[in-house]
């Protein structure tokens, strides 16, 4: 979601709506998330995104991102180019909620390749109507993780939380007072436990489990 919505009138094809391997986990998350393809079209969004932003799924799927973002088009294009080049993007935007009110959102985007398709997972990390108002993200209770993700150690979860928030290996190591190799080891172990094939997929899984909580 990342605070971006509607633009073009095109509709998604059946291929567009084919779920990525980790989508069942994302679909159940209370954190708003959406998949966007290389043409900048929404492919799918979870129920949490609908609850927070209040746009109907039919209004969003197949439409181009960016229409409700209050941002210079050149800046938006530059950010998209950065995402396409690095497969990662973090930032804040002012967007228009479905009720017409402006919201400030912070977001992370992680791209991965599914088969021969490039897809970016946009995750809304926080959303507020007022700078000091309540955060609309994470107000629902978090269920206990199930399956392989429940096997992650506390330290692995600490590492992955910082990775999910956009910190590089060196910054994570400094924040946790460990070596960079230790951080890489925790990431590799977490990928093995979750079955994630890429860091982007790993981030999607840990975000879906609510691991960005303070």
The residue range of the domain holding 108 is: 23-128
Tally of domains in the chain = 2
Q: How far apart are CA 100 and CA 189, in angstroms?
A: 45
**Could you report the per-residue pLDDT of 109-147, keeping only the tens digit for each?**
888 887 788 999 898 888 999 888 888 875 443 344 455
Coil vs helix vs strand at 107: strand
Does residue 90 sit in the same domain as residue 47?
A: yes
**Could you report the per-residue pLDDT of 76-87, keeping only the tens digit for each?**
999 999 999 988
What are the strands, taking DSSP E only, across the chain?
A: 33-37, 42-45, 88-96, 102-114, 117-128
pLDDT of residue 13: 41
pTM: 0.69
Q: What is the CATH number of the domain that holds 35?
A: 3.30.450.20
Helix axes 169-176, 180-194, angle to 10 degrees: 110
């Amino acid at each position: 979601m990342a605070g971006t919505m509607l633009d073009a009138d095109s509709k998604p094809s059946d291929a567009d709506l084919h779920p990525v391997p980790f989508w069942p986990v994302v679909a159940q998350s209370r954190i708003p998330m959406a998949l966007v393809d290389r043409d900048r079209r929404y492919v799918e969004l979870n129920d949490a995104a609908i609850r927070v932003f209040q746009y109907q799924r039919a209004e969003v799927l197949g439409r181009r991102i960016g229409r409700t973002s209050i941002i210079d088009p050149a800046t938006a294009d530059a950010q998209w180019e950065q995402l396409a080049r690095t497969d990662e993007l973090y930032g804040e935007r002012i967007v228009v909620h479905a009720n017409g009110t402006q919201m400030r959102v912070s977001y992370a985007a992680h791209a991965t390749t599914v088969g021969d398709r490039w897809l970016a997972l946009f995750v809304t990390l926080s959303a507020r109507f007022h700078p000091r108002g309540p955060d609309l993200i994470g107000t629902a209770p978090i269920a206990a993780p199930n399956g392989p993700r429940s096997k992650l150690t506390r330290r692995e979860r600490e590492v992955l939380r910082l990775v999910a928030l956009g910190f590089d290996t060196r910054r994570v190591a400094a924040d946790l007072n460990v070596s960079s190799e230790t951080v890489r080891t925790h990431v590799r172990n977490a990928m093995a436990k979750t079955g994630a094939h890429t860091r982007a997929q790993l981030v999607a899984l840990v975000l879906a489990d609510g691991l960005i909580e303070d």
